[in-house]
Chain A
């Protein structure tokens, strides 16, 4: 038998469906329902460590205090502290590639959250830019209640000037 005889080799196309159930928990559910019903981003604060966590969590990661009821309301604006450009397309991804995933630290928060950045070319984006949440028109009860974050132009600049290639 010729081991390098590939005349009978071929490729089978498949499609794998992955049904899953995601349970947000009590803290996560309150975060999502507040986003949906009040268009408000909330986090929880650990008074011992003076840290505000967004997305919220039940337990402080530093001192293990139970912080589930210590809610604070945050601004819809924040700072882009890091980002990545997604270039590999896959059909389960939320946007056509290339698109930008940013780590956003909201004003008043100590931890960053991940979301999509829109309205700027991937080669124009930079750490430290100011961003603002844009809420989705239709509600679906997920983190995509926030459609994406957009770049807030620095004082005196019009948004068009940074979102084009000129």
Chain B
């Protein structure tokens, strides 16, 4: 007895009856012939949800006959060789109705050599869900003033009476000085690029629940009228992610970043999204 790929061809045929799936054979009424070179010939009749297998010398009357050597047949059964490749390499020949041959995969469960049966994998439960939570944000007078400004296409910063620092978006208090900010300054709207973060993981937008496409660029823009680290955070036009350079100050050396301008939404509601994003202004 010769074996290829750990498969005994006789066993493949001997187990056909136990691997037969009546539900897979539904509507199939055909006679299949197997001519395994120097091994033997089998005639498989399938019809009315039943099968019969005979070892025979006479394959006449079959709707389809497969002629193949033992090694190739074993390789295909083991999943090591591709049937189409075997056909085109002339290692296997199909005579008759080729399409019928393809349905045998449905009629039988896969052949597993003795001793190699594995327990069926346990079904593991994984749930993917999305919870949607309604939220309300109160702007308060400071953020409200800033957002109303965006509606009018102006970017406002709040100024600290102590250190003169500008903050936009604004906060009520200047944190380093711990005093209340007291005046508004219009900044920008154009400026220069300072920082760019490539974002590959987007968390949902708390206003819309939508998750924006990645990668996107979160940028810090030094708007005209601002200095040092008084950068304004927003988005970069996603088409221009690779076309901008960052600016920086290192001691006396100043490197200017790409000039950027805001692109305003047509329908402005007093939201940070009233600016769609910044784009190159050069």
Contact of B209 with A15 in the complex, beta carbons under 8 Å: yes
Q: Which of A21-29, A102-110, A116-124, A151-159 contacts B (4 or more CB under 8 A)?
A: A21-29
In the complex, are the beta carbons of B144 and A10 less than 8 A apart?
yes
A132 part of interface (Cβ distance < 8 Å):
no
Count of residues in B whose CB is under 8 Å from the partner chain: 36
Given contacts A3-B180, A15-B133, 12 further A-B contacts (CB under 8 A): A1-B182, A6-B141, A8-B141, A8-B148, A9-B140, A10-B138, A14-B134, A18-B130, A19-B204, A23-B124, A26-B122, A33-B125
User: Which secondary structure dominates chain B's binding surface?
Assistant: mixed
CB distance from A10 to the nearest CB of B (A): 6
Cα A20 to Cα B135 in complex, Å, equals 18
B137, A9: Cβ atoms closer than 8 Å: no
Q: Is A62 close to B, CB under 8 A?
A: no
Which residues of the partner chain B approach A15 to less than 8 Å between Cβ atoms?
A: 132-135, 207-209
Within 8 A of A (CB), among B85-131: 122-131
Residues of B within 8 A of A16 (CB): 132-133, 135, 204, 206, 209
Q: Which has the most chain A C-beta neighbours within 10 Å: B127, B136, B137?
A: B127
With beta carbons under 8 angstroms apart, the residue of B125, B136, B209, B211 that contacts A28 is: B125
Residues of B at under 8 Å CB distance from A?
122-141, 144-145, 148, 172, 180, 182-183, 204, 206-211, 270-271
| Docked-complex contact A17 and B207, CB < 8 angstroms | no
CB-defined A-B contacts under 8 Å, sample of 27: A1-B182, A3-B172, A8-B144, A8-B145, A9-B141, A9-B144, A11-B137, A11-B138, A12-B137, A12-B139, A13-B134, A15-B132, A15-B135, A16-B206, A17-B211, A18-B131, A19-B129, A19-B130, A21-B126, A21-B128, A22-B126, A23-B126, A24-B125, A24-B127, A33-B123, A91-B133, A92-B133
Q: A141 within 8 Å of B by Cβ?
A: yes
The reply on A142 being an interface residue by CB < 8 A is: yes
Count A interface residues, CB 8 Å: 35
Q: Please tell me if the beta carbons of B129 and A22 are within 8 angstroms of each other in the complex.
A: yes
Q: Mark A92-133, 1 if CB is under 8 A from B, else 0.
A: 100000000000000000000000000000000000000000
Q: How far is the CA of A90 from the CA of B132 in the complex (A)?
A: 10
Residues from chain B with Cβ under 8 Å of A5 in the complex: 141
